[in-house]
């Protein structure tokens, strides 16, 4: 499998944007994928944000293992973060997120000489559902506002349904994945563009992970297999045969098989799967 090393120029600009605008906000919302809560946390964001109040939003809980999500919520709380678990597409958990933000706003205004709405920045790696969350929190209006009294002139902000202000940033990845497992997890969940990966190879790696995890039965059930193959490649070929993904000359269509497996994993069709689970489980 190829080494994943991807850092387009616009992500360098994003880093600079976050850095320059941090002083304008009271807190930072960091959106992560509930299926890979650690892999989808960008260490650069931690370095940039420093001591700012940080809210971890575990998004896509509809695709993740609920027990694992509950454990991660507790884990992040124990590490001093404010935490919310949501499904931005359906709106599940958004009310609780607003309550959390309102509590932070109330605490801030207790020590301030004048009352004002909370100012937030939202960050996250690509494809964690940041845009869906923004649309949900703004009532899908995503109304840009600027030069509003009390808001720094020249900056474009979004106003939330509860009248708080939100500054958006593009998704940011980091220059190099020291741990290739992190890169693989991001690729499985679509945070790294498939165009820079070999789809069949990536699916093969996903089969390898699922086959050796508590989710093996989901893989068997979804593709109507009696058992896992002796190797990930054999399992992939069994899936291809079950689905009829065969080319002329009785050759396996690895690309179509790989694409199907990745698409069905990402859509939650194989099952509610969390790739990163806390060890005590």
What is the model's pTM?
A: 0.87
Inter-residue contact 262 to 191 (CB < 8 Å)? no
pLDDT reported for residue 143: 46
pLDDT class of 62 with cuts at 50, 70, 90: very high
Q: What value does the mean pLDDT of the chain take?
A: 87
CA distance 131 to 89: 10
CA distance 200 to 205: 9
pLDDT tens digits for range 74-109: 999 999 999 999 999 999 999 999 999 999 999 989
Q: Is 121 exposed, middle or buried (0-12, 13-18, 19+ CB in 10 A)?
A: buried
Q: Where are the domains of the chain?
A: 9-168, 198-266
Label residue 192 left, alpha or beta by phi (over 0 means left) and psi (-120 to 50 means alpha).
Answer: beta
pLDDT class of 215 with cuts at 50, 70, 90: very high
Q: Do domains 9-168 and 198-266 have the same CATH topology?
A: no
Domain spanning 198-266, CATH architecture: Orthogonal Bundle (1.10)
Which residues lie below 8 Å from residue 215, measured CB to CB, with a gap of 6+? 270, 271, 273
CATH 3.40.50.970 fits 9-168, yes or no: no
pLDDT tens digits for range 219-229: 999 999 999 99
pLDDT tens digits for range 165-214: 999 877 776 555 667 888 899 999 998 877 777 999 999 999 999 999 99
pLDDT reported for residue 175: 53
Q: Quote the DSSP letter at residue 203.
A: H
């Amino acid at each position: 499998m190829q080494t994943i090393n991807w850092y387009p120029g616009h992500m360098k600009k994003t880093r600079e944007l976050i850095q320059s605008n941090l002083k304008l906000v009271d807190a930072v919302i960091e959106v992560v994928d509930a299926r890979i809560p650690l892999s989808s946390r960008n260490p650069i964001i931690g370095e940039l944000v420093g001591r700012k109040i940080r809210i971890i939003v575990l998004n896509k809980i509809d695709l993740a293992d609920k027990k694992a999500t509950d454990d991660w919520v507790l884990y992040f709380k124990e590490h001093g973060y404010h935490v919310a678990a949501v499904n931005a597409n359906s709106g599940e958990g958004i009310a609780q997120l607003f309550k959390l933000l309102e509590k932070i706003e109330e605490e801030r205004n207790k020590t301030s000489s004048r009352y004002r709405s909370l100012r937030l920045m939202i960050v996250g790696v690509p494809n964690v559902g940041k845009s869906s969350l923004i649309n949900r929190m703004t009532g899908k209006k995503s109304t840009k506002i600027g030069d509003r009294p009390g808001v720094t002139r020249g900056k474009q902000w979004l106003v939330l349904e509860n009248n708080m202000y939100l500054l958006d940033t593009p998704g940011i990845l980091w220059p190099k994945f020291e741990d290739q497992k992190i890169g693989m997890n991001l690729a499985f969940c679509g945070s790294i563009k498939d165009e820079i990966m070999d789809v069949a190879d990536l699916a093969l790696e996903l089969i390898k992970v699922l086959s050796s995890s508590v989710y093996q039965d989901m893989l068997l059930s979804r593709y109507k297999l009696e058992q896992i193959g002796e190797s990930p490649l054999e399992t992939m070929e069994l899936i291809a045969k079950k689905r009829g993904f065969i080319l002329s000359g009785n050759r396996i269509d690895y690309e179509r098989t790989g694409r199907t497996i990745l698409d069905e994993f990402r859509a939650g069709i194989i099952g509610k799967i969390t790739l990163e689970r806390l060890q005590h489980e």
